[in-house]
């Protein structure tokens, strides 16, 4: 998937991946896509809730080698 900005939140625990994602999305334009990589297992639920609460779209999420990857589209 194509993305405009990449955020490395690996090694960070809740709530830092979400806080950094919120800041990164605020710097982007509507419709642009952000890729976030995180290692906190709780981030899966956090990103789903974040998308629901903010209206930003969680396009895709995956996990490989204990690294969770999320693609978020800015509302």
Domain ranges of the chain: 5-73
Q: Is 66 a catalytic residue?
A: no
4 touches 34 (CB < 8 A): yes
Helix-then-strand count for the chain, H and E = 2, 4
- Give the Cα separation of 39 and 11 in Å (integer): 6
pLDDT tens across the length of the chain (75 residues): 999 999 999 999 999 999 999 999 999 999 999 999 999 999 999 999 999 999 999 999 999 999 999 999 999
Among residues 12, 14, 58, 59, the one annotated as catalytic is: 14
Output the CATH code of domain 5-73.
3.30.110.40
- Token pair in block for residue 54: 């903010």
């Amino acid at each position: 998937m194509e993305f405009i900005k990449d955020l490395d939140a690996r090694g960070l625990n809740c709530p830092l991946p979400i806080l950094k994602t919120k800041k990164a999305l605020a710097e982007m334009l509507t419709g642009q896509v952000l890729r976030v990589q995180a290692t906190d297992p709780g981030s899966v639920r956090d990103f789903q809730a974040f998308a629901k609460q903010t209206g930003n779209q969680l396009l895709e999420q995956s996990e490989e080698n204990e690294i969770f990857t999320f693609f978020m589209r800015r509302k």
